[in-house]
Structure 1
Amino acid sequence: MKLTVFGATGGVGGEIVRQALAGGHEVTAAVRDPSRFALTGERLEVLRCDLADPEALRGAVAGRDAVLSGLGARNRADAASGITARLTRPVLRAMEAEGTRRLLVVSAAPVGPPAPGDGLLDKAVLAVVGSVFKDVYADLRVMEAELAASGTAWTSVRPPRLTDGPGTGRYRRVVGGNPPRGRTLARADVAHAMLAMVDEPSTVGQGVGVAY
């Protein structure tokens, strides 16, 4: 497949690029600063893009089978400014202009519904996390609302706390919900899950919780 990856200089985005290349896909990494992107490969194109300009992004998404986004806030100041929704909006407009349909993005477990079977401790931890990172989740909810209003065939992948552990390919997922007692997931397995969902119709228009 021909894939475009936004946020490729981040932890999840970089893993998506690595795994997609290893899987034989053609990958375009759309980045603001190519000097920060160290990956190479014969099926890899690194494209400098102004992420704020939908017209400038059209060439990055035209003719692609799917677009995968690891865009997100790197700190609380980013989240307070609504950066995830702000950066995703031009991607949506560019995709709609080019007729590129499939889009997968990274969100977060607290944006989804509570998992059935979670105990009091899990609910208490979730409440604390939701309070501390309220700006992050508010930003992600705005992004997801824009996905739902778009003309794309979107999927929002919602992991819990991210780690830098090795990918295992073994995790739980719930379409439209969250796995019970799902507390962590390696960035490598978030990327694995996103690539696995690219051609899964059951995940279109859905938030998908993924966790160990």
Structure 2
Amino acid sequence: MKLTVFGATGGIGREIVRQALDAGHEVTAVVRDPARFTVTGPRLEVFRSDLSDPEALRPAVAGRDAILSGLGARLLADAGVATRLTRSVLWAMEAAGTRRLLVVSAAPVGPPPERQSLADKAVVAAVSATLRKIYDDLREMEAELAASGTDWTSVRPPRLTDQPVTGHYRRVVGGTPAKGRTIARADVAHAMLAMADDPATVRQGVGIAY
């Protein structure tokens, strides 16, 4: 497939690029600062952009089979960036006629899992209160996706770790895995690539966790 990856210098985005190249895909990595991007490969194109000009993004998304985005706030002070930057990506995609988009959201944005324990409810409530602005940003981003004409998927992981890829995790389309407390960034990337051509995940939120 021909793929474009936004947020390619982040933990998940970088893993998407690496795994996609290893799988033989052609990848365009959109980055703000190419000096921070260390992945290389013969099927890799690095596209420099700060995403402030949606029109300038059209060449990065035109003719692609799927767009995968790891864009999002890394700090509370960055809350709002996921919605703002995803709007630019959506505009460019719709202008270029590219339809498939997968983005990273978060488990608390989705529905609570079935039979959630009181302890887990308390943990989610505490984390949600602390990161409320970030989760509000992700909810607004998902609303933008739902209002768009793209074939979107919102991938909702719980707490992220930096463990190696395993390829083994649970996935719930339209829901959240029960007792799903962690997942590695590498496995989020693995899941997103696996869903890129999966029609069952189109216009759906997908919870993933170990």
TM-score range, shorter chain: over 0.9
Q: Which residue of 2 aligns with 1:140?
A: 138
Matched, 1:91 2:89: yes
Please list, as runs of the form range in 1=range in 2, the aligned pairs for 1:117-196 lying within 5 A after superposition.
Answer: 117-196=115-194
Please list, as runs of the form range in 1=range in 2, the aligned pairs for 1:68-107 lying within 5 A after superposition.
Answer: 68-79=68-79, 82-107=80-105
8 A Cα contact 1:115 1:179, kept in partner? yes
Matched, 1:22 2:48: no
Classify the secondary structure of the residue corresponding to 1:151. coil
- For structure 1, the 5+ residue unaligned runs are none
Q: TM-score, normalised by structure 1?
A: 0.98
Q: Which residue of 2 aligns with 1:31?
A: 31
User: Runs (4+) of structure 1 moved beyond 6 Å?
Assistant: none
8 A Cα contact 1:21 1:43, kept in partner? yes
Instruction: State the alpha-carbon separation in 2 of the partners of residues 166 and 98 from structure 1.
Output: 35
Instruction: State the alpha-carbon separation in 1 of the partners of residues 60 and 209 from structure 2.
Output: 31
Partner deviation per Cα, 1:89-127 (whole Å, 9 max, x = no partner): 000000000000000000000000000021110111111
8 A Cα contact 1:50 1:56, kept in partner? no
- CA RMSD of superposed structures (Å): 0.5
Instruction: State the alpha-carbon separation in 2 of the partners of residues 24 and 194 from structure 1.
Output: 16
Deviation at 1:166, TM superposition (A): 1.0
Deviation at 1:32, TM superposition (A): 1.1
8 A Cα contact 1:158 1:209, kept in partner? yes
Classify the secondary structure of the residue corresponding to 2:27. strand
- For structure 2, the 5+ residue unaligned runs are none
Instruction: State the alpha-carbon separation in 2 of the partners of residues 77 and 147 from structure 1.
Output: 23
